[in-house]
């Protein structure tokens, strides 16, 4: 099976051809945004961080910014820095440039302030755009796809229908040799032992237990026990009887394949197959982390409906709640409620989802992409100082 | 045939209803590609589970092909399965490794 993809100089394949502006800190984010306005179609990532960060939190933001530039959906990159921020501007440039993609840089303090930096940035972005706007996709094998799976605004239809169906689509891509990424560590709590059985090795299982344990410990620092009170009274009223049931409802959106490895937030997997990335359950930060991990397409199951998109990868919305599909038809792409009504099996809808992924890879735009939804946020694991 | 419940995995011993149903209703569902029916012995609210076969005391409740808890009493086909007759095995804090 094949799709049309953009082969980048490093061999990775994207399904979009974005010109991207990455501000290295919040201080350069307005200039980055202004430059993007002058070259239609350019995407400027919002960045609320990049300075006064320490330790693992600093490393995480740095890794995420670099890896977003490396994402195969991105054709060319302009890095915009202030000059004195914590994130090392030129390291970001050099690392992204290892992909062989064209990269330029503007530093506000060196250019001489807003207007001069904006002019320099617009000139450089125009030059980059001229290099990449006409790149043509070529026929590539389906294994070149990197799929991120997310769930948000869940209700009883999520665990029952849309997530298992998403899992079928995940299994199809994994079996074909592609990458699949599951995240939202908070949601494994209660079923991590089941996930661990699918780990490729005892080391991977240990790492999985560790990220779940660390997640619970972080909550305890704020005097919050994530396991207590789960399932919630609302869940129980809705029919969820145990934390295992709740957690399994989330986990099976990534199918049944062997787990190749556990990724840090924003880390790129080294091989094909199913990976778990350590992210919070918060959808936007979760998706943003997986984009840094190289995800080129996102499927997002929802029960109550959410409009969330992403700046550099198309997000396909799936709901099995018929009422939600009708009410939020402007945002929902796939109606999986036929599983609930019995008109289709989970397997049939899973195949439909997989077929849609291929169509989107070939250029069809899901509703979030048409509407310009570009929600984005980098996960922070320590306070700013 | 109209379907009123979903069984996710062919090893499951519970089905989840997709609407509110009264005791006495015959519920149809797919299991592993074939169609089956069970008559409800109790009212089952939307999103809740009922047993599709007999479940003995201390037997694993299976959904998604996995254990979601254990029964605390004998449950017969068509009865409601929920927090009143099953309990979680995993709700304890720091219980990561067993």
- Asked if residue A356 and residue A221 are part of one domain, the reply reads yes
The shortest C-alpha distance from A104 to chain B (Å) reads 47
Residue A380 lies in a domain: no
Among residues A13, A16, A125, which one has the least CA distance to residue A369? A16
Residue A203 burial by Cβ neighbours in a 10 Å radius (0-12, 13-18, 19+): exposed
Residue A366 lies in a domain: yes
**DSSP designation for A201:** S
Among residues A254, A43, A284, which one has the least CA distance to residue A147? A254
The shortest C-alpha distance from A256 to chain B (Å) reads 11
Tens digits of residue pLDDT in B9-22: 999 999 999 999 99
Nearest 10 degrees: Cα torsion A209, A211, A215, A216: 20
3-state secondary structure of A280: coil
Per-residue confidence band for A234, with pLDDT thresholds at 50, 70 and 90? confident
Query: What's the CATH number where A103 sits?
Result: 3.40.50.261
Domain residues for A281? 142-370
Higher-pLDDT residue of A154, A19: A19
- Asked if residue A265 and residue A319 are part of one domain, the reply reads yes
Q: What is the average pLDDT across A92-98?
A: 98
Q: Say yes or no to pLDDT of A295 above 80.
A: yes
Q: Say yes or no to pLDDT of A131 above 70.
A: yes
User: Residue A269 has which token pair?
Assistant: 């997997």
Q: Say yes or no to pLDDT of A79 above 80.
A: yes
What is the residue-averaged pLDDT of chain A? Answer: 96
Per-residue confidence band for B94, with pLDDT thresholds at 50, 70 and 90? very low
- Considering its fold, how many domains does chain B have in total? 1
| Residues of chain B contacting A240 with CB distance shorter than 8 Å | 47
| Residues of chain A contacting B46 with CB distance shorter than 8 Å | 156, 239
No. of helices (H) and no. of strands (E), chain B: 0, 9
- Asked if residue A340 and residue A288 are part of one domain, the reply reads yes
Contact check, Cβ <8 Å, A244/B82: no
Instruction: Report whether A376 contacts A288 (CB < 8 A).
Output: yes
Which pLDDT score is estimated for A78?
Answer: 98
C-alpha–C-alpha distance, residues A43 and A21, integer Å: 6
- Asked if residue A148 and residue A122 are part of one domain, the reply reads no
Total beta-carbon pairs less than 8 A apart between chain A and chain B:
100
Among residues B1, B20, B2, B10, which one has the least CA distance to residue B80? B20
User: Residue A36 has which token pair?
Assistant: 């993007």
- Asked if residue A341 and residue A227 are part of one domain, the reply reads yes
- Asked if residue A343 and residue A300 are part of one domain, the reply reads yes
For residue B15, give the chain A residue with the closest CA: A160
* Single residue among A82, A97, A132 that ends a domain in this structure: A132
- Asked if residue A234 and residue A120 are part of one domain, the reply reads no
Residue B49 lies in a domain: yes
Q: What is the average pLDDT across A356-363?
A: 98
Tens digits of residue pLDDT in A237-291: 889 999 999 999 999 899 999 999 999 999 999 999 999 999 999 999 999 999 9
Q: Say yes or no to pLDDT of A292 above 70.
A: yes
Nearest CB to A345; choose among B30, B89, B97:
B30
Residue B24 lies in a domain: yes
Per-residue confidence band for A228, with pLDDT thresholds at 50, 70 and 90? confident
Contact check, Cβ <8 Å, A248/B86: no
- Asked if residue A316 and residue A269 are part of one domain, the reply reads yes
Residue A7 lies in a domain: no
The shortest C-alpha distance from B62 to chain A (Å) reads 9
Residue B96 lies in a domain: no
User: Residue A118 has which token pair?
Assistant: 């904006």
Residue B12 lies in a domain: yes
Q: What is the average pLDDT across B27-42?
A: 93
Nearest CB to A243; choose among B33, B63, B90:
B90
For residue B70, give the chain A residue with the closest CA: A242
Residue A9 lies in a domain: no
Among residues A254, A268, A294, which one has the least CA distance to residue A144? A294
- Considering its fold, how many domains does chain A have in total? 2
Residue B50 lies in a domain: yes
C-alpha–C-alpha distance, residues B87 and A267, integer Å: 38
Q: Say yes or no to pLDDT of B96 above 80.
A: no
Residue B16 lies in a domain: yes
C-alpha–C-alpha distance, residues A360 and A365, integer Å: 6
- Asked if residue A325 and residue A178 are part of one domain, the reply reads yes
**E strand spans, A122-272:** 138-141, 146-152, 179-182, 259-263
Residue B66 lies in a domain: yes
User: Residue B36 has which token pair?
Assistant: 């089956």
Whether ipTM exceeds 0.95: no
C-alpha–C-alpha distance, residues A198 and A254, integer Å: 12
Query: What's the CATH number where B56 sits?
Result: 2.30.130.110
The model's pTM is: 0.93
Contact check, Cβ <8 Å, B90/A190: yes
Domain residues for B25? 5-87
C-alpha–C-alpha distance, residues B29 and A112, integer Å: 69
Q: What is the average pLDDT across A10-26?
A: 98
C-alpha–C-alpha distance, residues B15 and B7, integer Å: 5
Number of neighbouring beta carbons within 10 Å of residue A54? 12
- Asked if residue A161 and residue A113 are part of one domain, the reply reads no
Nearest CB to A239; choose among B30, B48, B93:
B48
B interface residues, A as partner, C-beta within 8 Å: 1-4, 6, 8, 16, 18, 28-30, 33, 45-49, 61, 63-64, 66-69, 81-83, 86-94, 96-98
Q: What is the average pLDDT across A45-52?
A: 96
Q: Say yes or no to pLDDT of A171 above 50.
A: yes
Residue B72 lies in a domain: yes
Which pLDDT score is estimated for B66?
Answer: 93
Among residues A19, A221, A45, A203, which one has the least CA distance to residue A126? A19
């Amino acid at each position: 099976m094949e799709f049309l993809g953009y082969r980048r100089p490093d061999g990775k394949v994207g399904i979009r051809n974005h010109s991207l502006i990455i501000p290295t800190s919040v201080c350069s984010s307005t200039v980055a945004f202004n430059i993007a306005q002058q070259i239609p179609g350019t995407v400027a990532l919002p960045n609320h961080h990049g300075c006064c960060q320490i330790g693992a939190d600093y490393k995480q933001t740095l890794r995420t910014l670099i890896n977003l530039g490396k994402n195969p959906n991105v054709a060319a990159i302009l890095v915009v820095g202030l000059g004195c921020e914590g994130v090392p501007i030129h390291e970001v440039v050099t690392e992204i440039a290892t992909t062989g993609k064209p990269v330029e840089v503007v530093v506000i303090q060196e250019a001489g302030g807003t207007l001069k930096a904006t002019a320099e940035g617009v000139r450089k972005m125009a030059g980059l755009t001229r290099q990449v706007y006409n790149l043509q996709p070529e026929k590539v094998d389906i294994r070149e796809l990197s799929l991120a799976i997310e769930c948000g605004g869940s209700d009883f239809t999520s665990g029952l229908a849309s997530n298992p169906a998403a899992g079928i689509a995940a299994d199809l891509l994994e079996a074909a040799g592609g990458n699949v990424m599951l995240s939202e560590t908070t949601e494994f709590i209660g079923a991590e032992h089941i996930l661990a059985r699918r780990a490729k090795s005892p080391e991977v299982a240990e790492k999985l237990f560790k990220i779940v344990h660390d997640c619970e410990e972080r909550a305890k620092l704020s005097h919050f026990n994530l396991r207590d009170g789960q399932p919630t009274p609302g869940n129980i009223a809705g029919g969820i009887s145990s934390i295992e049931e709740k957690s399994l409802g989330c986990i099976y959106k990534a199918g049944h394949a062997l787990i190749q490895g556990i990724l840090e937030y924003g880390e790129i997997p080294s091989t094909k197959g199913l990976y778990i990335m350590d992210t919070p359950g918060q959808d936007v930060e979760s998706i943003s982390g997986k984009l840094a991990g190289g995800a080129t397409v996102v499927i997002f199951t929802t029960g109550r409906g959410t409009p969330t998109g992403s700046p550099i990868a198309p997000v396909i919305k799936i709901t099995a709640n018929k009422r939600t599909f009708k009410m939020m038809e402007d945002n929902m792409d796939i109606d999986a409620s036929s599983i609930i009504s019995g008109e289709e099996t989970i397997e049939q809808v899973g195949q439909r989802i997989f077929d849609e992924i291929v169509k989107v890879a070939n250029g069809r735009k899901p509703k979030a992409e048409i509407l310009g939804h570009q929600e984005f946020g980098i996960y922070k694991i320590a306070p700013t100082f | 045939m109209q379907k009123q419940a979903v069984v996710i995995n062919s090893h499951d011993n519970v089905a989840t209803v997709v609407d509110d149903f009264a005791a006495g209703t015959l519920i149809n569902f797919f299991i592993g590609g074939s169609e089956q029916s069970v008559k409800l012995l109790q009212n089952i609210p939307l999103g809740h589970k009922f047993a599709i076969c007999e479940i003995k005391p201390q037997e694993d409740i299976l959904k998604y092909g996995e254990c979601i808890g254990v029964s605390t009493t004998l449950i017969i086909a068509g009865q409601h399965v929920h927090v009143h007759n099953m309990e979680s095995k995993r709700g304890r804090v720091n219980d990561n490794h067993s």
